[in-house]
């Protein structure tokens, strides 16, 4: 049976509109030239906030005091889970060395970047979890300086819960500045901050475009588009749970794709009947996002069997991938392209988004076909080193000289020649590239 689309998207999500690119490039250029003053000018225009850019210890303490104890406990729970997972991730990469040939030793070191800039969205939604995910992992990695940057609200500043989460995670500075100007301030080292070596965290299309433009001058976690989610479900799945999970992810934004891939027509049709009603029950802003996302970007695909379902999912390479089907181990071993995988009804993308410990900063727009999400490793450089005895360098020098001459790189060859002449005087070596 060929795949059948019971619902087909009418729009394709994009985040690189020319007008966005032009606007972001202009703002970045202005701020790089104008420094602190120009960044403050854009902050006044877009953030409509005139408080301190860098929160003082007293301001942080005051903000933390506003967070209810029950919410603090929930944030600590999520932080502890993220921290434990990040610590285990870090232990999976270690310094090592190996004797390649006698007398030649090579190795690697895992070195954290010096300064990390963590962007925490705070516009339509206060992304408390993003502060936990980005700052905590940077701290575990060992970054010397961590800046948490979040858009302030007029008359309020950075939401207290975000301040508490960033402070708990280990941020050295918390910056009340949003959008392109916040990204620029961290990149260019404004307001006395160290220049960021890496920028991480989700954001709107302007933040994503700023990171894309700056990539190369500074490292980034990934180039992100609208969030997306796919559910693989068979006949045993609960249609209400499937529909609820689809709607829960569609509320992210009007252009956030959600996809259902199944081999059971009855399940698909029931889910499609349930979704509109579940959307109607959401609060207005969430309802508007989910309605548009479902109408314009959602797809429902009917496949012939589970192998076809898996192949279809790998082709989408979704950011979030949920399996509500029999034989979860089969799916775990078969699926290859996803940002994060949620196996079984007992877990859900919402858990990963907030509190399970795995990171929610994940590849979107098919990027999961070639990369994973934010992890402690993103903040670390895996660098190599080598040393050799004179006898150990001999075969390497001979091979290097001959390969270099074959390539036409005489200078490289002579760097080997001079060592052979110094370490082994009187010996005759065949250093030509021909046999």
For every residue of 44-112, which 3-state class applies, written as one string? HHHCCCCCCCECCHHHHHHHHHCCCHHHHHHHHHHHHHHHHHHHHHHHCCCCEEEEEECCEEEEEEEEE
pLDDT for the residue 221 = 96
pLDDT in tens, 156-209: 899 999 999 999 999 999 999 999 999 999 999 999 999 999 999 999 999 999
Based on the residue annotation, tell me whether 360 is a catalytic residue of this protein: no
| pLDDT at position 272 over 80 | yes
**Candidates 145, 252, 319, 360; catalytic one:** 319
pLDDT for the residue 12 = 82
Confirm whether pTM is higher than 0.95. no
**Candidates 59, 320, 407, 410; catalytic one:** 320
Domain 226-372 has CATH 3.40.50.300: no
pLDDT in tens, 357-381: 999 999 999 999 999 999 999 999 9
**Confidence tier at 15 by pLDDT (50, 70, 90):** very low
pLDDT in tens, 379-421: 999 999 999 999 999 999 999 999 999 999 999 999 999 999 9
Domain 18-92+113-221 has CATH 3.40.50.1980: yes
**Which are the contacts of 299, defined by CB distance < 8 A and separation ≥ 6?**
5, 7, 8, 9, 257, 259, 260
**Confidence tier at 432 by pLDDT (50, 70, 90):** confident
Kindly report, as residue ranges, where domains of CATH 3.40.50.1980 are found in the chain: 18-92+113-221, 226-372
Based on the residue annotation, tell me whether 412 is a catalytic residue of this protein: no
Percent of the chain at pLDDT exceeding 70: 98
**Confidence tier at 125 by pLDDT (50, 70, 90):** low
């Amino acid at each position: 049976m060929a795949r059948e689309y019971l619902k087909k998207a009418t729009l394709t999500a994009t985040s690189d509109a020319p007008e966005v690119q032009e606007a972001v490039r202009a703002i970045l250029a202005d701020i790089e030239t104008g420094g602190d003053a120009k960044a403050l000018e854009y902050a006044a225009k877009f953030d409509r906030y005139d408080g301190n850019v860098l929160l003082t210890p007293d301001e942080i303490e005051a903000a933390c005091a506003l967070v209810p104890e029950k919410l603090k406990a929930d944030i600590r729970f999520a932080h502890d889970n993220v921290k434990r997972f990040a610590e285990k991730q870090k232990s999976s990469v270690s310094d090592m060395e190996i004797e390649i040939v006698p007398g030649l030793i090579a190795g690697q070191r895992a070195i954290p970047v010096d300064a990390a800039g963590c962007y925490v969205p705070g516009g339509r939604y206060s992304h408390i979890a993003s502060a936990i995910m980005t700052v905590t992992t940077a701290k575990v990695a060992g970054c010397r300086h961590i800046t948490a940057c979040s858009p302030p609200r007029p008359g309020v500043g950075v939401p207290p819960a975000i301040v508490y989460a960033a402070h708990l995670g280990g941020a050295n500075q918390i910056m009340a500045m949003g959008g392109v100007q916040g990204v620029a301030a961290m990149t260019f080292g404004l307001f006395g901050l160290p220049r960021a070596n890496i920028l991480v965290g989700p954001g709107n299309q302007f933040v994503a475009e700023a990171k894309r433009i700056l990539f190369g001058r500074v490292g980034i976690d990934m180039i992100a588009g609208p969030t997306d989610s796919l559910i693989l479900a068979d006949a045993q799945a609960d249609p209400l749970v499937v529909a609820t999970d689809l709607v829960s992810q569609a509320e992210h934004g009007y252009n956030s794709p959600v996809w259902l891939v199944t081999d059971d027509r009855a399940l698909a049709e029931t889910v499609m009947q349930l979704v509109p009603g579940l959307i109607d029950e959401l609060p207005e802003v969430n309802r508007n996002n989910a309605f548009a996302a479902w109408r314009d970007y959602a797809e429902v695909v009917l496949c012939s069997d589970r192998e076809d379902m898996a192949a279809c999912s790998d082709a989408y390479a979704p950011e979030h991938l949920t399996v509500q089907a029999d034989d979860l181990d089969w799916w775990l071993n078969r699926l290859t392209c996803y940002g994060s995988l949620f196996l079984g009804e007992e877990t859900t993308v919402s858990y990963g988004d907030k509190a399970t410990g795995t990171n929610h900063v994940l590849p979107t727009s098919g990027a999961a076909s070639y990369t994973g999400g934010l992890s402690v490793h993103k903040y670390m450089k895996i660098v190599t080193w080598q040393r050799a005895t004179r006898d150990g360098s001999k075969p390497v020098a001979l091979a290097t000289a001959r390969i270099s001459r074959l390539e036409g790189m005489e200078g490289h060859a002579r760097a080997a020649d001079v060592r052979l002449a110094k370490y082994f005087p009187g010996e005759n070596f065949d250093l030509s590239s021909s046999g």
